Structure 1
Amino acid sequence: MANDPWGFDPSCGELGDLDLTGWRVEAADGRVGEVDTYSDVTGEAFLVVEADGWIFGKVMIPAGAVTHLDPAGRTLRLDLSRQQIEDAPQYLPDQHHADPEYRAEIAAYYWENGPC
């Protein structure tokens, strides 16, 4: 994973004009779901992923967990396991952007649990 939880790793390449909405999201051990919304704002980048029914609802994932972007296949890969995503703090849409404590909790969870 990137050193900055809230930034896409430079090895992913430039996002440019890419719209990640609807892209397939793959963990190291299988499909997670699709990108519902995202931010590519420097220092605040994240994905909100609509899970494919193996967990209820949506999850927020810091952009630093993204290891690869495949524009041709409209797929992005994460340096996380499905279990890590399933065990992540609940996604709270009213807090994810405005509450720095919530964002810190999300980042701490993924970075303390390390890559899969």
Structure 2
Amino acid sequence: MREQIWNHHPDNGHTEDRDVIGYTVQATDGRIGKVDRHSVEVDASYLVVDTGPWIFGRQVLLPAGTILRIDHEERTVLVNRSKDEIKGAPEFVSEHEVPADHLSALGTYYGPMI
């Protein structure tokens, strides 16, 4: 069932016709950055978040299954992980295509969708 972490929950507000680039991303304990890019592939959907000064400009990749809700009016994405959990994830090196081994490591780290 590890694929669930890579798919949007049916009622989290995700729609394929709405772009979330630039939306603010909120962890359970505060803001972590803005959506830099995203993937909407089946079994491989994710957000790439630019954390800015929070963790020294590092980008993080968040599986779609971590998204609790997308608020299009407020341009906000709420995720069900804490800042420390996100900061402790395997390091993401920004590339156009994300290597399969990195997706696998992140799927293991974040675990099944809650």
Shorter-chain TM range is: 0.7 to 0.9
Which whole-Å deviations, capped at 9, do the CAs of 1:44-88 have from their partners, x for residues lacking one?
100000003121310011011001010100101000000001111
2:105 counterpart SS class: helix
TM-score for the superposition, normalised by structure 2 = 0.88
Partner in structure 1 of residue 29 of structure 2: 29
1:12 counterpart SS class: coil
- Give aligned pairs, total: 112
Partner in structure 2 of residue 81 of structure 1: 82
Residues 68 and 79, structure 2, Cα contact 8 Å, conserved in 1: yes
Gaps in structure 2 of 5+ consecutive residues: none
Assess, with a 3 A threshold, how the Cα gap between structure 1 residues 35 and 14 changes in structure 2: closer, same or farther.
closer
1:84 counterpart SS class: helix
Query: What percentage of residue pairs aligned between the two structures are identical?
Result: 30
Gaps in structure 1 of 5+ consecutive residues: none
The whole-number CA distance in structure 1 between the counterparts of 2:43 and 2:34 is 22
Residues 28 and 77, structure 1, Cα contact 8 Å, conserved in 2: yes
